[in-house]
Amino acid sequence: MSLVTTHVLDAAQGRPAVGVPVVLAAQRESGWQTLARGHTDTDGRVRELGPDELAAGVYRLTFDTDACFAGAGFYPEITVTFRITDPTAHHHVPILLSPFAFTTYRGS
């Protein structure tokens, strides 16, 4: 399993958000470096996203929510920026999504 995983739930429909494009990037001195790209599966998860190891640092997941709501949502894209302090720990970053709101948390 990847060190970073995610799960997208469509709270408006009460089911997983399928096919949402997700990009994992790392903050570098020169700017953001894309590390991996994926799409949510039929369970709304991206289980394999990026390398098995990541150094401590600042990372972000960008979710193309326009793909989920066909351009009808308020947020065309959601970016969640987070810090990895323990490079050996698994980091699960899920979002709960609706056309006009979202929330995120550090999952397990």
**The pair of three-digit structure tokens given for residue 83, joined into one six-digit string:** 């810090």
Q: How many alpha carbons lie under 13 Å from residue 70 in its C-beta half-sphere?
A: 0
Rounded Cα distance between 97 and 52, Å, is: 27
Rounded Cα distance between 11 and 54, Å, is: 31
Q: Are 54 and 84 in contact (CB under 8 A)?
A: yes
Strands (E), 1-108: 4-10, 15-16, 21-28, 31-39, 45-49, 57-63, 78-84, 91-92, 95-98, 101-104
Does CATH place domain 4-104 in 3.40.50.720?
A: no
Q: Are 63 and 17 in contact (CB under 8 A)?
A: no
Burial status of residue 20 (CB atoms within 10 A of its CB: 0-12, 13-18, 19 or more)? buried
Report pLDDT for 108.
85
User: What's the whole-model pTM score?
Assistant: 0.93
45 is in an annotated binding site: yes
**pLDDT values of the chain reduced to their tens digit, one per residue, 108 residues:** 789 999 999 999 999 999 999 999 999 999 999 999 999 999 999 999 988 789 999 999 999 999 888 888 899 999 999 999 999 899 999 999 999 999 999 998
7 is in an annotated binding site: yes
39 is in an annotated binding site: no
